[in-house]
Structure 1
Amino acid sequence: MAKKRGTETVRDMVLSMAAIGVVVGIIWFFIPHDENHDPVQVVGYRVELDQARRSAPYPVAAPEGLGKGWRATSVTYEDTNPKAVHWHLGFVDPQNEYAAVEQSNADAEAFVASVSHDARKSGTRTVGGETWDRYEGPKYDALVRQKGGVTTMVTGTAPADRLAELAAALQERSGQ
């Protein structure tokens, strides 16, 4: 004879919870756990870089010879508007801080404000023999260089020395 609804006991509830706990424990046991796993998803960017260098109306910048520990995490090339071609290459530095190379032939002031999340100019810095404008903001800091109608930015949460390291490694090329 079936129990009448509403007559369950605390004992029934404890037994149900124990059964659920056993199932959860078994599932947890079979799921791999790797404490040394790097949560950063690394991407290759050579194909996109070659495409951008072939089609961009300006020499496209990408780092060469960055130190160990730098990992590329994102890459995009947007050329639907020939007056606002945008190259982006994102990295995580050896201390797991974000840094990115951003380039565009769009209006420099609007481009810098948009990409740096409204960082403000705070001075200059010489990197690799070239003068870059320094920007500081609530979200990102940046190094910005304007040359030949193209704005090149190195921006992110990485400290200023890491941003300078990335900027110093940039090589600009086109038409490969």
Structure 2
Amino acid sequence: MANDVATDTTETATDAPDDAASARPDRRRRLESVRNMVLSMAALCAAVLALFVLNPDEEPDDTVQTMEYDVASVTAARAAPYDLLSPEGLSDRWRATSVRYDPRGAFGATWRLGFLDPGDEYAALTQADGDPARFITEVTRGAEDTGATERVDGRDWARYEGSKYDALVLTEPDVTTVVMGTAPWDRLAHLAGALEVRADRP
């Protein structure tokens, strides 16, 4: 009887390592399956990213909302207490992206018209009849008067330079006109030269 018990104990002891050994390959297979799945997902994501990078939008300009500004400038000219300016004769490569007239803005009656120039740089016209110094500082984001001027259609515009925008500024008794942006000086001058009084006031 004692020998039988010993034999049973020995068989049980020798069965345990076999079970552990068989469990290890199963665990290894599961880990390998998880790793393969992760690698497959990473490869798929990389492929999708590569397709996105190598095939950009064929018409990126569709993301820029352009608008017509003639009607808005006519309406603003009728309400403005000064001679409101609007560009005439710009090519189609100048795309208007914003237009707004605020009769009670922070700097008085304020007219603003924004563009992307032919080089996709920002250029804008803005006018107001409030405090000139505060208005210029605000719209140009702190640009400073260089003391130089730009002669445009017989009038001298002051040149301002700043870390964000450069600007051409024309200060008159009843209105301050600013042409500003990231566009180069020749484009800013071109926009300033295209400005004409919108003669639709009553």
Instruction: Name the amino acid aligned to 1:151.
Output: T
Deviates more, 1:72-81 or 1:146-155: 72-81
Aligned to 1:10: 32
Deviation at 1:68, TM superposition (A): 3.7
Deviation at 1:46, TM superposition (A): 2.6
The percent identity for this pair of structures is 42
Aligned to 1:78: 102
Deviation at 1:148, TM superposition (A): 3.3
2:78 maps to 1:58: no
2:180 maps to 1:158: no
Q: 1:107 aligns with which of 131, 136, 155?
A: 131
2:65 maps to 1:41: yes
Deviation at 1:128, TM superposition (A): 1.0
Q: Which has the larger helix fraction?
A: 2
Deviates more, 1:9-18 or 1:45-54: 9-18
Deviation at 1:139, TM superposition (A): 1.0
Deviation at 1:16, TM superposition (A): 5.8
Which deviations, in whole Å up to 9, do the C-alpha atoms of 1:23-61 show, x marking residues without a partner? x85xx79xx953243143212223321221111111211
Q: State the distance in 2 between where 1:158 and 1:83 align.
A: 24
Give the TM-score, by structure 1 length: 0.82
How many correspondences in the alignment? 165
Deviation at 1:17, TM superposition (A): 5.7
Q: CA RMSD in A?
A: 2.5
2:174 maps to 1:149: yes
Q: State the distance in 2 between where 1:107 and 1:48 align.
A: 24
Give the greater-gyration-radius structure (CA): 2
Aligned to 1:175: 201
Deviation at 1:120, TM superposition (A): 1.0
2:153 maps to 1:128: yes
Aligned to 1:89: 113
